[in-house]
Amino acid sequence: MCDCLVALAPATGGPFTLFAKNSDRPPTEPHDVEWSPARRDRELVRATHITVDGALSDTLGCVLSRPRWCWGAEHGVNVAGVAIGNEAVYTTLDPRNAPPALIGMDLVRLGLERGDTAATATQVITDLLDRYGQGGSGHDETVVGGQRPYWSSFLVADPTEAWVIETSGSIWMTERVDPRGAAVRAISNRTTIPEFDRVHRHPRQAVERLVDPRWHASQRVLAHRPVDRDQLVAHLASHDSCGDPGWSVCMHVPGVEATTASMIAELRADGAAHRASVLVGHPCENDYVEVVVGVPFPTIQSEAARST
């Protein structure tokens, strides 16, 4: 489970985009926030389950929020001011039948490393989906007791625009967030692009109880103008969006799901430094640490990570 939202410059009232995401995972999965410097990987890259071709040019340095067991990232922001987050979604196509391939978190990291704009990162992700597909567990099998695969949706943003990508296996659809329209967008653990949702949403997914209350809470936050960092901090720590107990934006479902990491990124359109406020654990219990994107920092580890 996760929640992700973006407000472009017309909605923030400043020369910047605000991007925010909570990562919800099994409570005992250790989570790290780390600086990943640029590198040259022209040959092959080992992702979580498979190897993929390297980039045609050097990768971009990124702030990555990453479950320690996997190569990919739940969310992050790169030196070009591109932020990406993903969500688990369930569709009419059963992910348990898919062979090992890329998982959503791999695609987040590859998009950040190879995309210098939101549009380019979106193209990177969809090209990789076409070539390699999705498949394999999206959770640490030693923690959850076996494979738990899922498909992903993505929110991709930069200082001036944003895109939504929704998937079902290798099938995908994109939607541009219009900066001249609402200039805001929220995604959660369901398909939200109307045409894609009509065709692909799993008919038995309990979105009304477990997803829509959180998604609608994000939409309400984005309706208040200007959208600012304080609103997003309060929203990501909130518990008033439950359909069922514990299934809130800041998630507390003992033994099942918990918010394990959070990020708010300020993506500047005026040449100022891009910044990210990051934490591991529950946003209602922990303080954000602000980092300047491009400046290395010590890895931030969850309590679970430090005890392993």
Mind telling me the catalytic residues?
2
Q: How far apart are CA 78 and CA 61, in angstroms?
A: 6
Greatest Cα pair distance in the chain: 48
Q: Which two tokens stand for residue 22?
A: 């909570």
Distances (CA, A) of 144 to 45, 69, 149: 26, 12, 11
Q: Which two tokens stand for residue 92?
A: 């009419």
Q: Which two tokens stand for residue 239?
A: 């518990």
Asked if 140 and 30 count as a contact pair (C-beta separation under 8 A), the reply is: no
Distances (CA, A) of 95 to 127, 128, 152, 169, 248: 20, 17, 11, 7, 25
Q: How far apart are CA 126 and CA 111, in angstroms?
A: 9
